[in-house]
Structure 1
């Protein structure tokens, strides 16, 4: 529903005002699901590993409850990040066809209300993570990294970032590290692993999340290539230039290679077939479907990766159940 941008929010119904805030945080869209995957993958895989190593120390209920807490943290924090992104990018969004009707760009939500909404979500996300991660060093690292990364992300789209070879996808991908580290700590928190050891254990999955983000977000941003060029918006597809299709394929192959790195230590036949096998087939289909002459096919790649993420979560849940038997 597109509301009159000239009408102050106080004259809108309460339900419309709430809906505008929900839209501002993208809670009405599938995009926010992508923020959940790093923590869910980590908690479930770490949970399965711990169930096999020390079945008497943890339960299935513990693993799934920790995964839920970490997922809620990511979802709420992502909502706060979306508000920040739309506030910084308000001038750009208003000039891009796909984003011109976002609540801040179209004037449906006041800036003051948006910032209050962002603060509420930020505080709630911190409280949720605190309940899951009883490790001050990991908790501090995760919240600081997420805050700095989220704050910097929209500035990575600006032309000034180009001379530093910083792309917004780099920042977004790097945000997987604190999510994976906190997800690992949520399962192994009784051991109070040091921060450096937690980061070391998280590296394979963190790198997978980084490359995966580059892949699907580059395809996603390519949808706006026409408007972005007019506005001089900075994105990874600029690096690829005319070789965007080969670039997408190369990133996809790297994603598949990094899944192998993650699964080598897990030693699960089920995950080799359900995760690696399914993603490999799907990626070759995406390579075929992506067409640089039709930027909207970047949206197809993006949506397909959300579905693959949901499938991988299911596969990891089954892995936990198998480990707990």
Structure 2
């Protein structure tokens, strides 16, 4: 048993303190759960929230809701856990030689020796198959989009080797759910989910540049590229641009999904969502310190709350 105040065996350095994986999961399962980042749930939220944005805006677009939408809501949640887990496992497999050279990542299961590469591959496949089974409960368009999403997921881990903008590739993968969930509800696609998708990519550039600031020194030593290294002293200025792009695009998608119904109250209520999200991102920008790793991690994790803020306003607009 781990005594109070002790570090649990095998704990990853940037795991949430007191997380359930390190303290309550069976010992044999902990390395696999750590591969899936179940001890660091923020990434699952960041993958899931664009799905819920897309679903609610699709419901606003056509003005209807059904019990199947509840399953889409739940299915996206389960799928986000599984696909984030599979994606992170793939990332750790491809980065196994790099992670051992970075202070923040050398404690991960593969470089630390807690899991072999073959075991990690098997775990990745298992998660992917369960996620695919959930995807098969959606309509054909959503299934096709789900399969297509594997392309940016597979490419992302290599992006930091050939571009200063790997966060773009992360955004392409992490926000795909905005389009998929819209299609799962409506069976068709229109322009608002694509605008929402690009807005989500801008948001990813915002929060993952903050995250990447933690690794600037190590990344420079091993030659890994990132927007944090590219922007240097101009990082805050670029974050401001990403903030404006995020809110402008999410606002435009919200208008597009709502305006044709001739209900100005619903439109106003829905637009409060991206507005309050913008205020949260502005707070992050004002407290941003590229040299304070504890603050950087706190700000990065706070994007769960930023992404949740539009949801109650979208839901309320649907009821009007």
1:71, distance to aligned residue in structure 2 (A):
2.9
Q: Where does structure 2 lack aligned partners over 5 or more consecutive residues?
A: 1-7, 12-24, 260-266
Superposed CA RMSD in Å reads 2.2
Q: Report if aligned partners of 1:42, 1:180 keep a CA contact under 8 Å in 2.
A: yes
Q: 1:3 to 1:178 in 2, by over 3 A?
A: closer
The alpha-carbon deviation at position 199 of structure 1 amounts to 6.2
Aligned pair in 2 of structure 1 residues 20, 199: CA closer, same or farther (>3 Å)? farther
Which residue of 211, 214, 218 corresponds with 1:223?
A: 214
In 2 relative to 1, CA 177–23 (structure 1 residues): closer, same or farther, beyond 3 Å? closer
User: Match for residue 62 of structure 1?
Assistant: 68
Residues 93 and 117, structure 2, Cα contact 8 Å, conserved in 1: yes
- 1:251 aligned to 2:242? yes
Aligned equivalent of 2:133: 127
Contact 1:170 1:214 in 2 (8 A): yes
What TM-score, normalized by structure 1, do the two folds share?
0.83
**Alpha carbons of 1:212 and 1:253: their partners in 2 closer, same or farther (altered >3 Å)?**
same
In the TM superposition, residue 231 of structure 1 has moved relative to its aligned partner by: 1.4
**Cα distance, 1:293 vs. partner?**
3.4
Q: Show the counterpart of 2:102.
A: 96
| TM-score scaled by length of structure 2 | 0.84
Deviations 1:122-164 (CA, angstroms, capped at 9, x unpaired): 11111111202x21x54224313x2121111111112xx03xx
User: 1:25 aligns to what?
Assistant: 36
Q: Which residue of 2 aligns with 1:9?
A: none
Instruction: Verify the 8 A CA contact 1:76 1:125 in the aligned structure 2.
Output: yes
Cα deviation 1:295-319 (Å, max 9, x = unaligned): 4433232112111112333433344
Is 1:37 the counterpart of 2:37? The answer is: no
Aligned residues: 292
Structure 1 residues without counterparts, runs of 5 or longer: 5-13
**Whole-angstrom distance in 1 between the partners of 2:9 and 2:310:** 35
Q: How far does residue 241 in structure 1 lie from its aligned partner after superposition?
A: 2.4
Q: Which position in structure 2 is the counterpart of 1:276?
A: 274
> In structure 2, how many angstroms separate the alpha carbons of the residues matched to 1:319 and 1:77?
30
**After the TM superposition, which residues 136-285 of structure 1 pair with which residues of structure 2 at under 5 Å, given as runs?**
137-144=141-148, 146-158=149-161, 161-162=162-163, 167-176=165-174, 178-189=176-187, 193=188, 198=189, 200-265=191-256, 266-267=258-259, 268-273=267-272, 275-285=273-283
Deviates more, 1:80-89 or 1:15-24: 15-24
Aligned to 2:9: 2
1:75-114 maps to which residues of 2 (within 5 A)?
75-114=81-120
Structure 1 CA distance, aligned partners of 2:309 and 2:73?
A: 16
Greater mean deviation of Cα atoms: 106-115 or 65-74:
65-74
Q: Runs (4+) of structure 1 moved beyond 4 Å?
A: none
Q: Deviations over 1:88-141 (max 9, x none)?
A: 111221222221211112111122211111001111111111202x21x54224
Provide the residue aligned with 2:4 in structure 1. none
1:49 aligns with 2:47: no
1:24 Cα deviation after fit: 0.7
2:27 pairs with 1:16: yes
- What SS is found at the alignment partner of 1:182? helix
Q: CA deviation at 1:244?
A: 1.1
